[in-house]
Structure 1
Amino acid sequence: MIEWVPLADGARPVPRPVADPLVWAGAFGGAFVLVALLNGTVGAGRPGLALAVLSVLAAVLGLRARFTAAPGTAVLCWLSLNGFAIPPAGTLTWAGRRDALWLACLLTAAVVGTALSRLAHARAAYRRLNATAGPEGPEPGDV
C-alpha cells in the first residue's frame, strides 16, 4: 500500500549542490584573497600555513559542491599556492613530489568536505523520514 504524504508536513528536499563553475569561481577568488592576506600578515614563504588555509577553503567549498567540482577546486587552489605563496611570487613551478602532495591534500580536502555534506544531508533526510513514520517505524506492507 502506498501512502501519500504531503511535503508541507516537514519533509524537506535535500539542498541542491552549487554549479561547478560557481564553486570554481569561489576557489579562484578565495584562494587569491587568502594567499594575499597570509602574505600580508605573516609574510611570504610559509607554504605549510598557506596549504592548511587553502585546504580549509577547499573543504568549505566542498560542502555545497558536487564531487565533480573537487578536481577543479584543488587545481585552482594549488595555482595560487604555487604561484604566490612560495618565492619567487608570480612564477609557477613543478617540484614533483611536493606539488603532487599539495594537489593530493587539496583534492582530499574538497572530497572530504563534499562527502561530509552528503552524509549530513542523507542522515537528516533519514531522520525526517523516520520521524514521519512514527516511533515504531513503517508498517510491514508500506512501500
Structure 2
Amino acid sequence: MVEWRPWRAAVRPVPEPVATPFVWAGAFVGSLLLVAVLGAVGGLASSAIALVALCAFAALLGLPARFRAAPGVALVCWLFLNAYAVAPHGELAWQGHPDLARVLLLLAAALLGTLIARIINALGAHRRITPGQGQEREGRGL
C-alpha cells in the first residue's frame, strides 16, 4: 500500500538559532541605538533605567540566539551601559561589585531569553511531531 505524504524540503521541527556573530553584531548596534534613544529622552539620568532597558534588550536578543552567544551579548551591553549610563560618562571603569552585578544581570537576561525560546520551540515541536495528535484533532471537528 502506498501512503501519500506532502513533500516538504528540509522541514525542521525546531528553528535553527541565529549565528553567534550576527547576534553579537545586533547587540552592538542595538545597544548603541538604545543608549542613544535613552540619552535623547533623559533615560540616562538613572543608571537603573538604562540597566533595565539593556536587560530587556539582552533577553530579546537571546530569543533567536544560541546559549553560547549570551556572554558576548552581556559584555557588549555592559560596555555601553558602563560607558554612557554610569558616571563618569564616556569612560570605561570597573567599579568592582556593582559592575559584576550588572554583568551578571545582563548575562542572566540573555540566558533567560534563550531558555524561554528553547522551551517554546520544544513545546511547538512536540505538538508537531507527536504521532496521533493530528488524528485526534481531525476526529473532534467531525
Relative contact order, CA 8 A, sep 6+: which one is greater?
A: 1
Q: Following TM superposition, where does structure 1 have runs of at least 4 consecutive aligned residues deviating by more than 2 angstroms?
A: 5-8, 130-135
User: Percent of counterpart pairs with the same letter?
Assistant: 47
Coordinate RMSD, CA, aligned: 2.2
The TM-score, its normalising length taken from structure 2, stands at: 0.84
- Residue in structure 1 matched with residue 65 of structure 2 by the alignment: 65
Pairing of 1:83-122 with structure 2 (within 5 A): 83-122=83-122
Q: 1:43 Cα shift?
A: 4.8
The 1:7–1:65 alpha-carbon spacing in structure 2 relative to 1, beyond 3 Å, is farther
Contact 1:66–1:114 under 8 Å retained in 2: yes
The TM-score, its normalising length taken from structure 1, stands at: 0.83
Separation in structure 2 between the aligned mates of residue 92 and residue 16 of structure 1, nearest angstrom: 35
Q: 1:7 Cα shift?
A: 6.0
Separation in structure 2 between the aligned mates of residue 7 and residue 108 of structure 1, nearest angstrom: 41
Unaligned runs of 5+ in 2: 137-142
Separation in structure 2 between the aligned mates of residue 37 and residue 29 of structure 1, nearest angstrom: 12
- Residue in structure 2 matched with residue 130 of structure 1 by the alignment: 130
Separation in structure 2 between the aligned mates of residue 53 and residue 43 of structure 1, nearest angstrom: 9
How far does the alpha carbon of each residue in 1:86-142 deviate from its partner, in whole angstroms, 9 at most, with x for none?
22221001111100000000000000000000000000011112365543xxxxxxx
Q: Secondary structure at the match of 2:44?
A: coil
Unaligned runs of 5+ in 1: 136-143
* 2:23 aligned with 1:23: yes
Q: 1:6 Cα shift?
A: 5.5
- Residue in structure 2 matched with residue 14 of structure 1 by the alignment: 14
- Residue in structure 2 matched with residue 33 of structure 1 by the alignment: 33
User: What is the number of residues matched between the two proteins?
Assistant: 132
Contact 2:13–2:128 under 8 Å retained in 1: no
Q: Secondary structure at the match of 1:44?
A: helix
